């Protein structure tokens, strides 16, 4: 493992991101707990609602999880009536995912407190400042070459 100079680490921003994420997911977590679901269910319902008709393969690529992990969560959501799975129009083996009305309502109920939290945090920001925040978040979600090289031996 390489030696890291702790003076080069931005601990303050790391902590702010940690606390922001913790609080950002807390409201949906509370809603999900009442119906016996967790964050994996939230992610599936969210993306299927945002992109109706997406394939299972598309969802796997977005979530970057294994088929086995998705299969359990997806089955629960289908069995509970939140997600509908249909064969593709051209390729019957293809599985396309759609939210049911209950699934769409759940996705909106989970996103609403998050949207309020974002709006509160961005209050008073100009459109340019909001765009800067989006660019920052997009940058955070891109692969980091130094991350893969510095943690390769840690597993």
> Domains of the chain, with CATH numbers?
9-124 (1.10.10.10)
- Which residues does residue 34 pair with via DSSP β-bridges, in sequence order? none
pLDDT of 155 reads: 39
Q: What is the band of 149 on the pLDDT scale with cuts at 50, 70, 90?
A: very low
Residues written for the chain: 155
For residue 118, is pLDDT > 70?
A: yes
CA distance 48 to 65: 15
CA quadruple 145, 146, 152, 155: dihedral positive or negative?
A: negative
For residue 151, is pLDDT > 70?
A: no
Q: Which residue has the higher pLDDT, 143 or 111?
A: 111
3-state class of 99 per DSSP? strand
Segment 108-118 mean pLDDT:
98
Mean pLDDT lowest among 55-64, 120-129, 135-144:
135-144
**Percent of the chain surpassing pLDDT 70:** 92
Q: What is the band of 48 on the pLDDT scale with cuts at 50, 70, 90?
A: very high
What pTM was estimated for this model as a whole? 0.84
């Amino acid at each position: 493992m390489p030696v890291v100079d702790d003076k080069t680490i931005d601990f303050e921003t790391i902590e702010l991101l940690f606390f922001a994420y913790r609080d950002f997911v807390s409201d949906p977590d509370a809603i999900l707990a009442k119906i016996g679901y967790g964050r994996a269910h939230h992610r599936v319902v969210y993306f299927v609602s945002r992109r109706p008709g997406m394939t299972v393969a598309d969802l796997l690529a977005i979530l970057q999880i294994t088929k086995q992990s998705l299969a359990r969560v997806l089955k629960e959501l289908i069995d509970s009536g939140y997600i509908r799975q249909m064969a593709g129009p051209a390729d019957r083996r293809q599985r396309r995912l759609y939210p049911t009305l209950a699934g769409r309502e759940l996705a909106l109920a989970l996103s609403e407190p998050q949207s309020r939290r974002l709006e509160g945090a961005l209050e008073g920001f100009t459109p340019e400042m909001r765009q800067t925040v989006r660019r920052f978040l997009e940058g955070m979600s891109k692969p980091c070459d130094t991350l893969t090289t510095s943690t390769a031996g840690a597993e």
